[in-house]
Structure 1
């Protein structure tokens, strides 16, 4: 990770907002890239903002460059709460780029323990997630499937290294192979894994099941913008009411069918193993009712629900492959408990 000192922070702020002067900053502990809350003097008075620079190497620059543009698009075209962007730089000779400066949004992050939210507040988070996803999917159809990034200065659906994916089923099948390969080879983050072969025995059974289900997938919807990392760690929430004050991390958008996005969000926001079957079922019903009510002319048909079951199994495999990163600071006992939950879920699904 690239070091970012005080002079660099001041320079990046000036690059985004030339008339602003840095007074002080505090780096955020969460996240993998450089994120800092900055206090600045501006022509309109003192202001607190957030500076984000891509430094960790997990996101390709052409994808990271999309984030400030997507924040502007979502702020303009939807009612999803997102911070205003004050300025950005795609490249820079002196500072780690891309980087951008956005408004500071109040709220709490419940990545570590969403159960700490009161029941009614958590239900509001889930209900608003359904409405927000419906709002995002209503922005319009996209020409093909893939990661959203920037090409020639504009938002675009990017090619994969081995070419474009014009069919979502091909995109899904490719993801199945990548995820199961990761499980067999030490997860997506073997350098961070204390037990790289923790799920290696499940790689082949999951591959076989997901291949079979991928072959049987019914025709998906045309691709739309999908925020596949819509999780508690990327939400700022009012701790008393559960109001979602900001949805973050817009560098993680995919052009995909909406049902896949819904499955991803369900896998992030509630879980039958962690929450209990009844509580998870209640939250799922709330999420789906909210989405269907907010998206005109759309219903959870049996075909949609069947595809979502397939997508949810792949989401489970992805969570297993990401365990070393997502639970990097967890205790050995917490990791073992999450392993047990994953294994129980896979056993139920297979």
Structure 2
């Protein structure tokens, strides 16, 4: 793979000297490599030229409206499934907790206010609708939980099982443009100042329920920080919306737990178990 990346960069960035290539992270769809500590090469595991072209255009549009830094694309090689962008400063919040997470609330609230206010008709051309029914999501969560139930402390299992035995919330009345995977692994922070330095991985961006974006904040930063984010959010978010936020946070936690205990990094499972009591309380 290192040789392929060197050849790719030589073709698109002639004169750029490659000294180091390091695997930075890997998910279900993509693997990311850091080159020279300077640029990132994101490679789709299954080449999909149309998706790479769409993501390139999406990132350009998001950079125009975002209040937080997002990747600047240097070039895309659609046929190879490759997107290359400048590395943003900072480290992933996932695994690098900041001393005072409440300081993240104001920039996240402003960021989501602008994101969710983007013209839906225009963004729909770049971000497909995500209309996965809540009832189906709840059934998926139950199947995932049965696979990992034995890893959940016995005292905490009733919290999860009470949730799974409940009903799914109604569909959202309004859809907005969303990052749609705004977990701590996609938020970069400066470990010295605790400030957000970037938002990564827009591959799941969609026109969907705005509760999806808040749900990852609820799961990863806790209900108290979620409430603070809302105090800086300009959009409407009523009690029914809050119910959907908690619902999606709980489904996402179970998904992360199953992922971390199967094909994903173990840290996802560890983080899910640590956040379980407050997320299902």
TM-score tier, shorter chain, comes to: 0.7 to 0.9
Match of 1:155 in 2: 126
Rounded Cα–Cα distance in structure 1 between residues aligned with 2:249 and 2:18: 46
Q: Give how far 1:287 is off.
A: 1.0
Contact 1:81 1:247 in 2 (8 A): yes
Say yes or no: does 1:24 pair with 2:19: yes
Rounded Cα–Cα distance in structure 2 between residues aligned with 1:316 and 1:244: 22
Matches within 5 A, 1:157-306: 157=128, 168=131, 171-184=133-146, 186=147, 198=151, 206-209=163-166, 212-214=167-169, 217=170, 220-268=172-220, 270-271=221-222, 280-281=223-224, 283-291=225-233, 295=234, 298-306=235-243
Rounded Cα–Cα distance in structure 2 between residues aligned with 1:99 and 1:51: 7
Rounded Cα–Cα distance in structure 2 between residues aligned with 1:256 and 1:248: 19
| Larger of the two Rg values belongs to structure | 1
Match of 1:308 in 2: 245
Say yes or no: does 1:86 pair with 2:74: yes
Q: Compared with structure 1, are the counterparts of its residues 14 and 126 closer, same or farther at alpha carbon in structure 2 (3 Å cutoff)?
A: farther
What's the RMSD between the two structures over aligned residues?
3.5
Report the count of equivalent residues.
274
Q: Give how far 1:251 is off.
A: 1.0
Rounded Cα–Cα distance in structure 2 between residues aligned with 1:48 and 1:327: 24
Cα deviation, 1:74-123, whole Å, max 9, x if unaligned, reads 012333311211110121xxxxx311111122212231141xx222xx32
Q: Give how far 1:321 is off.
A: 2.9
Cα deviation, 1:263-299, whole Å, max 9, x if unaligned, reads 233212x13xxxxxxxx52x223211122xxx3xx33
State the TM-score, normalizing by the size of structure 1: 0.65
Match of 1:13 in 2: 9
Contact 1:82 1:246 in 2 (8 A): yes
**Structure 1, unaligned stretches of length 5 or more?**
40-46, 92-96, 149-153, 159-164, 188-195, 272-279
Cα deviation, 1:122-181, whole Å, max 9, x if unaligned, reads 32323212221222112122599xxx8xxxxx73527xxxxxx7xx4x622222222222
Match of 1:67 in 2: 55
Contact 1:123 1:242 in 2 (8 A): no
Q: Compared with structure 1, are the counterparts of its residues 30 and 69 closer, same or farther at alpha carbon in structure 2 (3 Å cutoff)?
A: same
Rounded Cα–Cα distance in structure 2 between residues aligned with 1:34 and 1:11: 17
Q: Compared with structure 1, are the counterparts of its residues 64 and 206 closer, same or farther at alpha carbon in structure 2 (3 Å cutoff)?
A: farther
SS of the residue 2:6 aligns to: helix
Instruction: Give the one of 120, 123, 128 matched to 2:102.
Output: 123
Contact 1:228 1:252 in 2 (8 A): yes
Rounded Cα–Cα distance in structure 2 between residues aligned with 1:204 and 1:35: 36
Contact 2:55 2:126 in 1 (8 A): no
Match of 2:276 in 1: 342
SS of the residue 1:155 aligns to: coil
Rounded Cα–Cα distance in structure 2 between residues aligned with 1:134 and 1:99: 31
State the TM-score, normalizing by the size of structure 2: 0.79
Cα deviation, 1:314-346, whole Å, max 9, x if unaligned, reads 33433333342565158xxx94x9547536754
SS of the residue 2:118 aligns to: coil
Instruction: Give the one of 112, 115, 121 matched to 1:133.
Output: 112
SS of the residue 1:23 aligns to: coil
Q: Compared with structure 1, are the counterparts of its residues 238 and 51 closer, same or farther at alpha carbon in structure 2 (3 Å cutoff)?
A: same
Rounded Cα–Cα distance in structure 1 between residues aligned with 2:18 and 2:201: 26
Q: Give how far 1:206 is off.
A: 4.2
